[in-house]
Chains A and B, each alone.
Chain A
Amino acid sequence: MSETMADAGADTQPLIKVENLRKLFPVSKSIFREAHDFVHAVDGIDFEIAPGESLGLVGESGCGKSTTGRMLTKLTDATSGQILLADEGELIDIASIQRSHMRRFRRRVQMIFQDPFESLNPRRTVYDTVAESLTVQRIGSVQQREERVAELLHRVGLTPPEQFLFRYPHELSGGQRQRVAIARALVIDPTFVVADEPTSMLDVSIRISIMDLMLKLAEEFNVSYLYITHDLAVARYMCDRIAVMYLGKIVEIAPTEELLSNPQHPYTRALLSAVPVPDPAHKRERIDIKGGISKALNPPPVCRFIERCPRATDHCRTSDHPEFTDLGDGHFVACYNL
């Protein structure tokens, strides 16, 4: 079914369309008191993901990238805004989804987690873990589920599957666990997978094989990824486009190579200049920004980056957080001083 949708026009109809998505976490709330202070974890973001495309969401810790991923998988409810998911020609709004549509949504959207040691239930076998969504949603007979799980294990490279089906997580290495997690996400044939730093806990030598596997499977299963990472080099390897987040806002979004070669937002530039390069001969141009990340607690309505920005002007201090400027070729940047 996803094939037909991709044919229907990858350029015209996005798979995921996020509009003005916000998540505010109340601070010091109790049943007796209304909260007055909010952490603006995600503060009005917009983006689209085409069928089969991978979007990288890059930013430092606390920028709201993981919260975005959790809203897209409905682990966290959005405070406001829309998340539209294209499914069989219809657009479902994830943010305000009906209970009756929940099952259908869970078949379309899956997630791969960061820590393979914590994302598998230690008391359940590989089979139980991978078959979970089939079992819960009562898809197929026991025999069919077994076969589907075996097929998935084969496809994620846990071969021969019979050797892995009934192992417990503690009997697997980190890389093998992450393969199980990938199999679990894909077993139900989703169209969209949120991958939250799936390789950051793995050893360097395992990392590439997992990333390659994810790229291969993206093609085979025709899934789109929202790839959340703090590592721009990894995002470059995995993603077609990259969105850079800072304090709950997307400050720049562009096709991968365009973003790396032609960064426009001062934060993107600083971030890029700070990434260590595995080449001792490489001399990079440093762009210093002041201080550390500001707090997302009740931020003023001006540009979120203003305190650290080397090119902030009076205009920035008196205006709202800038809207996206379209630089062409899908390159958008939220800054007044380009």
Chain B
Amino acid sequence: MAQTLHIESRGGRVGTPLLEVQNLVMHYGTKEGEVSAVDNVSFTLNNGEAIGLVGESGCGKTSVALTLLRLLPDNSVIKGGDIKLDGESLIDLDEEQMRRRRWRDISMVFQGAMNSWNPVYRIGDQIREALRLHWPETLTYQEETDRIGALFELVGLNPVTMERYPHEFSGGMRQRAVIAMALSCNPKVIIADEPTTALDVIVQDQILRELKKIQQELGMSIIYISHDIAVIAEVTERMGVMYAGKLVELGSTLEVFHRPRHPYSYLLLSSTPSITGPRRKLAPLEGEPPNLLNPPTGCRFHPRCPFAIDKCSSEEPGLVEVGEGHSVACWNWQEVPEIGGLQK
């Protein structure tokens, strides 16, 4: 009985590897040709850890998430690589086995999920539906209600409101309920894709704090996906920077922010305005992201890179370790200055 009220992460001991992504390659087949949306992406998520994937739209960050959950559209092909959850490979599972793991082991807070509630059902009943489909045992109605109440309390909603319909919730409340739903089956991993993008700053801040609190209290493992590096800075411990389908830099959030080694991370950080620190001229990132139908040869960033050398256009750099747990895919990473170093 009490177990149904217990909200936890079913992952292992904090600090041990939980989700390992190795050399993941995923393509979309289109009329014009193959789009290499995810190219050779590897990272590890440890138990109880929050990591972030950051990049512009179209850089492949959402595709990574969809590949992890195998929620890909029909025209996509996983070309290679492996995804291991608790040492078990997810890539070879058939659709039925994957379906059972999807909500129970890995759950997701989708971009714009707060608008995905079905308007004709009560919020609580929609979470109940998820419990019925994915909770290992059959629960009584009362047990379900109790658990939903506990989930609501955890995410800062009054349990009474589970009887309400989506239109009676504000945007922030709906987003909290989405988080409650993601937590409903005690998942091992939560993937949060732009969890606060459509929300106003004050609500965004409340939700991010709530998520961070939950993550720390439950020892939950979360992958945050966002285009907003400020959000990533707020909530993650480690982060990866993606560009044009590739992971170009991976390291602790503190390290990457204070001493980015990849020119793209560097420019991304330098071109983000902030309300703190000195008011400075920001360094613009020239050009536009490449067309992934026909990505540039060598390093995919070289056409926009102010630090590019001859080698960059011909040979593709792999991730190299540049510090403890900090790796970067760049031939010329030594030249990347400290933040503010390019300013006049």
Which 7 interchain pairs have the tightest Cβ spacing? A274-B205, A276-B230, A205-B285, A60-B200, A233-B273, A208-B271, A209-B284
Contact assessment for B269 and A278 in the assembled complex, using a CB-CB cutoff below 8 Å: yes
Contact assessment for B282 and A237 in the assembled complex, using a CB-CB cutoff below 8 Å: yes
Residue of B nearest to A288 (CB): B206
Q: Which residues of B contact A205 (CB under 8 A)?
A: 56, 267-268, 271, 285, 289
Contact assessment for B273 and A237 in the assembled complex, using a CB-CB cutoff below 8 Å: yes
**A10 interface residue (CB < 8 Å to B):** no
From A234, A274, A281, contact of B258 by CB (8 A):
A281
From A257, A274, A275, contact of B279 by CB (8 A):
A257
Contact assessment for B286 and A208 in the assembled complex, using a CB-CB cutoff below 8 Å: no
Separation of A257 and B284 alpha carbons in the complex (Å)? 22
**B227 interface residue (CB < 8 Å to A):** yes
**B322 interface residue (CB < 8 Å to A):** no
Q: Which residues of A contact B276 (CB under 8 A)?
A: 277, 279, 282
Contact assessment for A274 and B204 in the assembled complex, using a CB-CB cutoff below 8 Å: yes
Contact assessment for A289 and B273 in the assembled complex, using a CB-CB cutoff below 8 Å: no
**A214 interface residue (CB < 8 Å to B):** no
**A118 interface residue (CB < 8 Å to B):** no
Residue of A nearest to B200 (CB): A60
Knowing A203-B227, A209-B284, A236-B279 touch, does A280 contact B254 (C-beta < 8 A)? yes
**A61 interface residue (CB < 8 Å to B):** yes
**B97 interface residue (CB < 8 Å to A):** no
Separation of A121 and B294 alpha carbons in the complex (Å)? 29
A96 to chain B, nearest CB (A): 34
0/1 string, A90-109, CB within 8 A of B gives 1: 00000000000000000000
Q: Which residues of B contact A204 (CB under 8 A)?
A: 56, 227-229, 268, 271-272, 285
28 contacts between A and B (CB under 8 A): A61-B200, A203-B56, A203-B289, A204-B271, A205-B56, A206-B285, A207-B271, A208-B271, A208-B282, A208-B285, A212-B282, A236-B275, A237-B282, A274-B206, A275-B205, A276-B230, A276-B231, A276-B233, A277-B230, A277-B275, A278-B230, A278-B269, A278-B272, A279-B233, A280-B236, A289-B202, A292-B170, A293-B200
Q: Which residues of A contact B272 (CB under 8 A)?
A: 204, 233, 278
From A173, A207, A212, A233, contact of B274 by CB (8 A):
A233
Knowing A233-B273, A278-B229 touch, does A173 contact B202 (C-beta < 8 A)? no
Separation of A279 and B254 alpha carbons in the complex (Å)? 8
Tier of interface size on chain A = 35 or more
0/1 string, A222-243, CB within 8 A of B gives 1: 0000000011111011000000
Q: Which residues of B contact A232 (CB under 8 A)?
A: 201, 275
Q: Which residues of A contact B289 (CB under 8 A)?
A: 203, 205
**A297 interface residue (CB < 8 Å to B):** no
Q: Which residues of B contact A282 (CB under 8 A)?
A: 233, 276
B109 to chain A, nearest CB (A): 17
0/1 string, B222-260, CB within 8 A of A gives 1: 000001111101101000000000000000011001100
Q: Which residues of A contact B57 (CB under 8 A)?
A: 203
**B203 interface residue (CB < 8 Å to A):** yes
Q: Which residues of A contact B209 (CB under 8 A)?
A: 286
Q: Which residues of A contact B273 (CB under 8 A)?
A: 208, 211, 231, 233-234, 236-237
Contact assessment for A206 and B288 in the assembled complex, using a CB-CB cutoff below 8 Å: yes
0/1 string, A15-30, CB within 8 A of B gives 1: 0000000000000000
Contact assessment for B283 and A208 in the assembled complex, using a CB-CB cutoff below 8 Å: yes
A268-307 CB contacts (< 8 Å) to partner B: 270-282, 286, 289, 292-293
From B200, B228, B285, B286, contact of A276 by CB (8 A):
B228
Q: Which residues of A contact B271 (CB under 8 A)?
A: 204-205, 207-208
Separation of A270 and B206 alpha carbons in the complex (Å)? 11
0/1 string, A247-273, CB within 8 A of B gives 1: 000000000110010000000001111
From A175, A212, A280, contact of B288 by CB (8 A):
A175
Most interface-central of B205, B229, B267, B268 (chain A CB within 10 A):
B205
Q: Which residues of A contact B172 (CB under 8 A)?
A: 292
From B56, B201, B228, B282, contact of A274 by CB (8 A):
B201
Contact assessment for B201 and A275 in the assembled complex, using a CB-CB cutoff below 8 Å: yes
Q: Which residues of A contact B286 (CB under 8 A)?
A: 209
B37 to chain A, nearest CB (A): 16
Contact assessment for B257 and A276 in the assembled complex, using a CB-CB cutoff below 8 Å: no
Separation of A231 and B272 alpha carbons in the complex (Å)? 12
Separation of A282 and B230 alpha carbons in the complex (Å)? 11
